[in-house]
Amino acid sequence: MADAGMLRFHVPEPEVRPGGTPDFSNVPIPKAGSVPRPDIDVDPRSIRDHAFSIIRVLNRTGEAVGPWAGLLSSDELLTGLRHMMTLRTFDARMQMAQRQGKTSFYMQHLGEEAVACAFRKALAPGDMNFPTYRQAGLLIADGYPMVTMMNQIYSNEADPLKGRQLPVMYSSKEHGFFSISGNLATQYIQAVGWAMASAISNDSRIAAAWIGDGSTAESDFHSALVFASTYKAPVVLNVVNNQWAISTFQGIARGGSGTFAARGLGFGIPSLRVDGNDYLAVHAVAKWAAERARSNLGPTLVEYVTYRAGAHSSSDDPSAYRPKTESDAWPLGDPIVRLKNHLITLGVWSDERHAQAEAEILDTVIAAQKEAESHGTLHAGGKPSTRDMFEGLYAEMPPHLRRQRQQAGV
């Protein structure tokens, strides 16, 4: 073989950096309604194309079209719109509270509201989500009290987690929301284990695993796919591809070709891509995957194609690594605007009613915030006790911790 010359090291780069003009022309966006809806017991090999396309329901003029449309009533869609608007308002208020020093940290969902809000509505009571830190829509859509979320964010005296956890690391077994951990991807395999347990117990409940595009590079992503595939666990494996992992564009996790959904194909797991900013499409695909799991047909991998419109967290400034206007150029638009337009097209909504709803939601969130702040914020007012720091580590406090608690004077 001829001498190929020196090797060259390859490091993927995003198309555009700060100062450049955002360009998503290289992102193929299939027409709404163009991707078929297979039966849930489909042979995974026959739907390989679904891992490379994008399932979409809402078209440019706001109509619901194609085989994935028609699952939700107008009332259900209005409720979904309200959930997304609530989450966005909640985010804005908590982001502001962080800037005001009322808490140390916050993470917004801006632009990704449809994913968790619509997914939650595809689950049944008793199902368990294993979320990341960017799925608070699961709680909002399940009616978890906003005041309690805020108490956690403020680490105040009413914080259900007693001030032990960083803000947004919620936990609610009752609402099918597994305790969030700072360690990326760990919950992905735990979700598979939970689903295995449900199958072992001949239960009818299913699990949903959540991960971002960047964290798919963690080894627990692989662990989860292996175990889910091996044991045909009743789990929906969700990948939220918002294009960014802090400053790192998704090509660093994914490489230069293929999709995140395509990763599932090598494990024999049916894998679909869906428009993550299309409430109806997210719900329809989630329902399909949930029905598969509940029918003992095994796992499904779903990649939600969306865009992280906000900063990674309150500690992040995206203008240092991507164009400021990039989210405006995102071809799948804004999930709230798109559902709003659809509801207007249906004749059940209007700009006036939308503005009115925005005002009502803001009032509700502000009222919740006032109530939460009456229990304290991070640096002022009521706070968890020092005793709470020592308790709850073990079912029964071991002697060495009792001694340390005494030393701490509590």
Partner 1 sequence: MPRRTMIEAIRDAMDVSMGRDEKVVVFGEDVGFFGGVFRCTQGLQAKYGKSRCFDAPINESGIVGSAIGMAAYGLKPCVEIQFADYMYPAYDQLTQEAARLRYRSNGDFTCPIVVRMPTGGGIFGGQTHSQSPEALFTHVSGLKTVVPSNPHDAKGLLIAAIEDPDPVIFLEPKRLYNGPFDGHHDRPVTPWSKHELGEVADGHYTVPLGKAAISRAGSALTVLAYGTMVYVAQAAVEETGIDAEIIDLRTLLPLDLDTIVASVKKTGRCVIVHEATLTSGFGAELSALVQENCFYHLEAPVARVAGWDTPYPHAQEWDYFPGPARVGRALLETMGA
Catalog residues that contact partner 1 under the rule CB under 8 A: 128, 130, 160-162, 164-165, 169, 171-173, 178-179, 181-183, 186, 188-201, 207, 219-220, 222-224, 226-227, 230, 392-395, 398-400
Q: How far is the CB of 196 from partner 1 (least distance, A)?
A: 6
Q: 165 or 216, CB closer to partner 1?
A: 165
Q: In whole angstroms, how close is the CB of 188 to partner 1 at the nearest point? A: 8
**From CA 81, how far away is CA 76, in angstroms rounded?**
9
Q: At its nearest, how many Å lie between partner 1 and the CB of residue 237?
A: 13
- Tell me the three state secondary structure of residue 32: coil
Contact 57, 281 (CB under 8 A): yes
> Which is nearer to partner 1, 47 or 207 (by Cβ)?
207
Q: Which is nearer to partner 1, 68 or 227 (CB)?
A: 227
Position 230, amino acid? T
Nearer to partner 1, 264 or 335 (CB): 264
Min dist CB 175 to partner 1, Å, is: 10
- Identify which of residues 110 and 185 has a Cβ nearer to partner 1 in the complex: 185
**Rounded CA Rg of the chain:** 22
- Residue 172 beta carbon to partner 1: minimum distance, rounded to whole angstroms: 7
- Residues 271 and 273: their CA atoms lie apart, in Å, by 7
Q: Nearest approach, Cβ of 92 to partner 1 (angstroms)?
A: 27
State the minimum distance, in angstroms, from the CB of residue 200 to partner 1: 5
Residue 203: how many CA atoms within 13 Å on its side-chain side?
18
Nearer to partner 1, 223 or 313 (CB): 223
Cα–Cα distance list, 303 to 2, 52, 129, 242, 373 (Å): 42, 10, 16, 10, 38
Q: Smallest gap, in angstroms, from Cβ of residue 156 to partner 1?
A: 14
Which region, left, alpha or beta, applies to residue 246 given φ > 0 means left and ψ of -120 to 50 means alpha?
A: left
Supply φ then ψ for residue 329, to 5 degrees.
-85, -10
Residue 221 phi/psi, 5-degree rounding, is -60, -50
Decide whether 162 or 340 has the Cβ nearer to partner 1.
162
Single out the residue of 294, 218, 222, 295 nearest to residue 264, CA to CA. 222
Answer yes or no: are the C-beta atoms of 243 and 276 closer than 8 Å. Answer: no
Residue type, 300: T
CB of residue 27 to partner 1, shortest distance in Å: 33
Nearer to partner 1, 39 or 396 (CB): 396
Nearer to partner 1, 133 or 244 (CB): 133
User: Is the Cβ–Cβ distance between 191 and 221 less than 8 Å?
Assistant: no
The answer to whether the beta carbons of residues 378 and 154 sit under 8 Å apart is yes
- On whether the CB atoms of residues 303 and 289 are closer than 8 A, the answer is no
Sign for the pseudo-dihedral over CA of 73, 74, 79, 82: positive
* Residue for token pair 């979409």: 56
